[in-house]
Chains A and B, each alone.
Chain A
Amino acid sequence: MRVLGALWKLNAAEELQYRANFVASFASTCFYLLTALLTLSLFFRHATSLGGWDFWEVVVLLGVFNALSGLVEAILRPGIGDLAAQVRSGNLDLVLSRPVDAQVFVTFRHIDIWRLADILLGLGVSTYALEHLGHFPNAIQIFAFFVTLVAAALVVYAIWVTLMSLAFWFVSVENIATLFDAVFEGARYPVSAYPTALRFLFFYLLPVAWTTTIPASALTGRLSLPTALASAGVGLGALVFSRLLWRAAIRRYTGASS
């Protein structure tokens, strides 16, 4: 923990030098949100609901999506997203020889603090949309939201660990993160808005879309207790899975170099 604290301090000092980047990243997020909202209003020009969700409910979900992708951009992409490059260049050796947990170190090594603003922006959008709905979630719903959001973040993390671990087996997976980006786009809309074939792809093969639908359901009061518990369970399972996969991958790595 202390090691990470020191790392982050260094990291923050470094990033603070580039304040113009904040403006640029904030502007690009706002532009992205704007296009997403315009896309939604285009859909709603021709429909009254998407998979049973009305406009502002989908906006709540869009806020959750923005918060989660902020998390990806701030922590996962600069951290574990760099793993493939580390494996190829051999820099991973330096990490492994340190007296810290390598997985934690690789995950939190570099944080793009400006992108953390995306998380706040996303939650802001959700709050605004909830106000429009005239729905104020009670304490239990807010609690359920945070539990399911953490579970969602763990699922997303496990997907990243899985994709990046491929780097230990195949060296040339430089832009494998593109695969995540492509599929994660599907999480911008509620699960129920898709035809069955796509649902199968997004939700069972790569369980990405649930990561936004469930926390957003918690906020809008659609979430049932069994789903909430299941999602918490899946989140924990994802954490354990990522740990096991990491171990297997590292064993493979040390095996290859010796």
Chain B
Amino acid sequence: MTAGVRIWARRYSALMRNAWMVDLQYRASIVLWIMWGVMEPAIALGIWWSIAGQGAVGGYTRTDFARYFFALTLINQLTIAWDSWYLDRWIREGDLNFKLPRPVHPVHEAIADNIAYKARSATVLLVIWTVVSLVWPVVRLPFDLKTIAITAAAVILAAMLRFLISFTTGLLAFWTTRATSIMELHAGISLFLAGRIAPLSLLPPVVAGIASWLWFPYMLAFPVDVLTKATTGHAILLGFRGQVIWIAIWLVLCRTAWKAGIKRYGAAGG
């Protein structure tokens, strides 16, 4: 048992060191991606800020909107997964061939990449948030260890969920050349159902109802609501339950897609 743990710890530290070094070469690119990730919530916040000028919107004041979108920006960066784009390229251009014979399953490389990328970009955003909160007190969140601990758990689960979705969608490249289009479609839907454009409680009730039956709120809206304390008490437990259920479902989908895809891939190559 302990030997197994030690081997995996060594493997992961190697993979993550590698990912960190690779990212280091693309510092400018990463800053640009972060900016891109920041602009969308900044624009949404700008519009809501103006709308809320006449008074609270559905219980959200200007301050609430500011906190919501700052939390959203950070948590989005912590949970975002680009894997469907990478996998699509690996599969189409054959890079996967070099990854398959390695002693470690390619998924571990993807996971290590994600951890390294998120550690870097989230640090940048946390620094930005701290600096902004010095001059703009509206976005200061009360420091509360319990909330932070619960948020951390929700963020880790959300990151797992988004990773599985992204990875599974990327695997569709075994069958179609438009896997990334499917991911774009998913991103378009998540604008509304995951709470990227507005807190879920501001959506028409029917749409919010549909969202609650799907995985979208657990990707982003739930951890954001935990951090901003819009979700409290029993609802937090329900949220965790939803996250775990959807992670299990996507894990099964992902494994099925991987097995079927690899079989097909091997057949095409041989």
- Chain B residues within 8 Å of A186, by CB: 39, 43, 46
Q: Check B39–A45 contact: CB distance below 8 A.
A: no
Segment with Cβ contacts to B, from A5-13, A96-104, A172-180, A227-235: A172-180
Overall SS of chain B's interface: helix
- Chain B residues within 8 Å of A195, by CB: 46, 49-50
One of A42, A178, A193 near B197 (C-beta < 8 A) = A42
Q: Complex formed: what's the CA distance from A172 to B46 in Å?
A: 32
- Tell yes or no: A182 within 8 A of B by CB: yes
Q: Kindly identify, within residues 172 to 204 of chain A, every residue whose CB is under 8 Å from any CB belonging to chain B.
A: 172-176, 178-179, 181-183, 185-186, 188-189, 193-195, 198
Q: Check A46–B58 contact: CB distance below 8 A.
A: yes
Known A185-B39, A185-B40, A198-B42; contact A42-B50, beta-carbon cutoff 8 A: no
> Chain B 180-212, CB within 8 Å of chain A: the 1/0 string?
010011001001100001100011100000000
Known A45-B202, A173-B28, A176-B32; contact A32-B43, beta-carbon cutoff 8 A: no
Q: Complex formed: what's the CA distance from A135 to B251 in Å?
A: 54
- Tell yes or no: B150 within 8 A of A by CB: no
Q: Complex formed: what's the CA distance from A28 to B188 in Å?
A: 10
One of A32, A170, A181 near B36 (C-beta < 8 A) = A181
Q: Complex formed: what's the CA distance from A119 to B85 in Å?
A: 28
Q: Complex formed: what's the CA distance from A176 to B30 in Å?
A: 11
Q: Check A182–B198 contact: CB distance below 8 A.
A: no
- Chain B residues within 8 Å of A188, by CB: 43
- Chain B residues within 8 Å of A39, by CB: 191-192, 197
Number of A-B residue pairs having CB atoms within 8 Å of each other in the complex: 81
Q: Check A42–B203 contact: CB distance below 8 A.
A: yes
Q: Check B197–A28 contact: CB distance below 8 A.
A: no
One of A47, A181, A198 near B46 (C-beta < 8 A) = A198
Known A43-B51, A178-B33, A195-B46; contact A35-B191, beta-carbon cutoff 8 A: yes
Question: Smallest CB-CB separation from B62: which chain A residue?
Answer: A195
Q: Check B46–A193 contact: CB distance below 8 A.
A: yes
Q: Which residues of A contact B (CB under 8 A)?
A: 24, 28, 31-32, 35, 38-39, 42-43, 45-47, 50-51, 170, 172-176, 178-179, 181-183, 185-186, 188-189, 193-195, 198
Closest 7 CB pairs of A and B: A182-B39, A182-B36, A47-B51, A198-B46, A178-B32, A194-B46, A46-B57
Q: Which residues of B contact A (CB under 8 A)?
A: 26, 28-29, 32-33, 35-36, 38-40, 42-43, 46-51, 57-58, 178, 181, 184-185, 188, 191-192, 197-198, 202-204
